[in-house]
């Protein structure tokens, strides 16, 4: 089982729709969860982080965390063509702790295509 799993996509949604990106993780003790956006040929950009169960909203983005189900998602409302990118889920794996080091593991990323 992969430590952080994402569907590689592509996920295609029409402009204006809600895009839902999902991620599951294997380490039940994980504490911190991050979403990065990566445009083609560019570096990953941190767009959301969440630490507590529930929802966290920032503009058109909502991160949802369910630790019991080991599931984290990212919702993008009113999707725009400029949202077309690969979205990387990253998880701070609690189990790997050594003198202050908690390893962050990245999923493979989901490619999102917003169709005008």
Contact footprint for other proteins (CB under 8 A): 31-32, 34, 36, 42-46, 49, 51, 88, 90, 92, 94, 98, 100-109
Least CB distance to other proteins at residue 7 (A): 12
The CA-based angle 64-52-84, given to 5 degrees, is 30
The answer to whether 19 touches 29, Cβ cutoff 8 Å, is: no
**H or E element in which residue 61 lies:** strand 61-66
Nearer to other proteins, 51 or 55 (CB): 51
| Minimal distance, residue 25 CB to other proteins, in Å | 14
Residues whose CB is less than 8 angstroms from the CB of residue 43 and which lie 6 or more positions away in sequence, other chains included: none
Give the nearer residue to other proteins in terms of CB position, either 5 or 17: 5
Nearest by Cα to 45 from 13, 87, 80: 87
Closest separation in Å from C-beta 100 to other proteins: 5
Cα distances from 30 to residues 14, 22, 93, in angstroms, run 34, 16, 5
Compare residues 100 and 116 and give the one whose CB is closer to other proteins.
100
Residue (41 or 116) nearer to other proteins, CB: 41
Smallest distance, other proteins to C-beta of residue 31, A: 4
């Amino acid at each position: 089982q992969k430590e952080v799993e994402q569907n590689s996509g592509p996920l295609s949604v029409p402009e204006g729709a809600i895009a839902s990106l999902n991620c599951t993780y294997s380490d039940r003790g994980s504490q911190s969860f991050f979403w990065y956006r990566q445009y083609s040929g560019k570096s990953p950009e941190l767009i959301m982080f969440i630490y507590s169960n529930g929802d966290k909203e920032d503009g058109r983005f909502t991160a949802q965390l369910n630790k019991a189900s080991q599931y984290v998602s990212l919702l993008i409302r009113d999707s725009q063509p400029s949202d077309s990118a690969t979205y990387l889920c990253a998880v701070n794996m609690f189990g790997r702790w050594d003198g202050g080091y908690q390893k962050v593991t990245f999923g493979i990323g989901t490619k999102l295509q917003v169709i005008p």
